[in-house]
Amino acid sequence: MTPNTDLNIALFERAQALIPGGVNSPVRAFRAVGGTPRFIRRAQGAWLWDANGQRFIDYIGSWGPMILGHAHPAVLEAVHQAARDGLSFGAPTERELELAEEILGLLPSMEMIRLVSSGTEAAMSAIRLARGATGRSKFIKFEGCYHGHADALLVRAGSGLATLGTATSAGVPPEVLQHTLVLEYNAIEQLEQAFALHGSELACLVIEPIAGNMNLVRASVPFMRRCRELCTQHGALLVFDEVMTGFRVALGGAQSLYAREIPGFKPDLTVLGKVIGGGMPLAAFGGPRAIMENLAPSGAVYQAGTLSGNPVATACGLATLRQIKEPGFFAALAARTRALVEGLEGAAAAEGVALCADSEGGMFGFFLLPELPRNYAQVLRSDGARFNRLFHGLLARGVCIAPALYEAGFVSAAHSADDIAQTVAAAHEVFRELSR
Ligand code: PLP
């Protein structure tokens, strides 16, 4: 314990008496990596300051939303202005329409959108909509993909297609999982088998196209092509969970990247969150009019929310989207992110540490493995103890990455070349320690 960490320790002790595990979302508690979470006092640009006033270069970015960096002046101005006009009305506002128009203009697969307050709510509602629109119950999800914490999504694969998955949380009755099929990511044969067995019962297939919840693993183009083909052939909806990738990997989301490779490609429904709220609670789902009009009050699929389309959150999201639409924004962000990833690879290679890394837009992942994994089982081969040494080595040097090896990382437009260089230099020192 260094004297520097004392205030974080005191706050964490106080927190544990008040809040289960001391945190309001489990990963924040540092359980996977050990040690004391840093309590954040403030943030600016690429940096966070903890309770002791220690500064960190931030690669978590609130788990994705902070693509412009923290406390961006144009975003803060929009939020302040909106707040002065009232915090919540529970009635429609013009700003919701502006945000809807902005998003629909950038994602051509969507003709209509519904705004909600969290990615969990958006994914859960998209699946309900898919079920309501198709009149079917079953759906496919993939091992290692996270779509929020709705009951039917908290499930890991059984021992094969014939056995049901098991809940990853207490409090989820097995009956709730009976319609969830959990498949291996990037496994075309298993996907074909699942459709052969259950095609006519499937409401949808939900997927993170570039998975950010098993570090960073891309769905291969042939796999995605097959997902699209099989969904179309069997009348199931292809649901893209772009809560993480939307407006993060490219202005048109991951779907725009697959559309470059697969002519005419588009998902049926898209789930969004994180960047579209710019750091405020805001998420959404959308798709073609014919599907979306199944939602209440137009249709019979119920969905609602007291704070949905909140005026301050929509102002924050709008201001954020307007910044990232600037010409050259994504090219610069992607170049900076690539510089980080290449720097880490170079530093690891110089110290003989096996590391491979990948990035797309402002999202990156790295593994202490000789080659990039293609599915969750391969991700699990990572050495957790080594990752934890890396994590703490970086933290001690003022660099904050996600406190779990299953999380992707995020670079913002506020990260400077100097921030990246400092990060690579810090990582180089830690790799030297790891190689001993
Ligand atoms: N979907 C994906 C791909 C996510 O990464 C997350 C959260 O990390 C969610 C859904 C759930 O979003 P939220 O935490 O806003 O409920």
Q: What is the domain-level CATH number for residue 220?
A: 3.40.640.10
pLDDT on residue 294: 98
Residue from 62, 116, 120 whose mutation best tests the ligand 1 pocket (most atoms within 8 A of CB): 120
Q: Are 281 and 307 in contact (CB under 8 A)?
A: yes
Asked whether the whole model's pTM tops 0.80, one would answer yes
pLDDT on residue 69: 98
* 82 and 66 assigned to the same domain: no
* 80 and 23 assigned to the same domain: no
* 245 and 301 assigned to the same domain: yes
Q: Determine whether 241 is an active site residue.
A: yes
Catalytic one among 146, 185, 376, 406?
146
Q: How far apart are CA 276 and CA 66, in angstroms?
A: 10
* 299 and 397 assigned to the same domain: no
Q: Determine whether 138 is an active site residue.
A: no
Number of domains in the chain: 2
217 bridge partner residues: 211
* 266 and 387 assigned to the same domain: no
Percent of the chain with pLDDT over 90: 96
For residue 430, pLDDT beyond 90:
yes
The rounded mean pLDDT for the chain is: 96
For residue 102, pLDDT beyond 90:
yes
pLDDT on residue 6: 84
**What number is the average pLDDT over the span 2-29?**
90
* 41 and 112 assigned to the same domain: no
Q: Which residues contact 404 (CB under 8 A, 6 or more apart)?
A: 27, 32, 33
Q: What ipTM was assigned to the predicted interfaces of this complex?
A: 0.99
* 178 and 98 assigned to the same domain: yes
* 202 and 63 assigned to the same domain: no
- Domain membership of residue 129 as a residue range: 73-324
145 bridge partner residues: none
Q: Determine whether 274 is an active site residue.
A: yes
* 164 and 248 assigned to the same domain: yes
* 112 and 209 assigned to the same domain: yes
The pLDDT tens digits for 191-240 are: 999 999 999 999 999 999 999 999 999 999 999 999 999 999 999 999 99
In degrees, rounded to 5, the angle at the alpha carbon of residue 396 between the alpha carbons of residues 394 and 401 is 35
* 312 and 335 assigned to the same domain: no
Q: How far apart are CA 103 and CA 373, in angstroms?
A: 32
Q: Which two tokens stand for residue 185?
A: 């990511």
Domain closes at, from 324, 359, 390: 324
CATH number at residue 29: 3.90.1150.10
pLDDT on residue 5: 55
Separation of 322 CA from ligand 1 center, angstroms?
23
For residue 3, pLDDT beyond 60:
no
- Choose the weakest-confidence range: 137-151, 153-167, 342-356, 368-382: 153-167
**What number is the average pLDDT over the span 273-290?**
98
Domain closes at, from 302, 324, 346: 324
123 Cβ closer than 6 Å to some ligand 1 atom: yes
The pLDDT tens digits for 42-81 are: 999 999 999 999 999 999 999 999 999 999 999 999 999 9
CB atoms within 10 A of CB 199: 16
Q: How confident is the model at residue 1 (pLDDT cuts 50, 70, 90)?
A: very low
For residue 9, pLDDT beyond 50:
yes
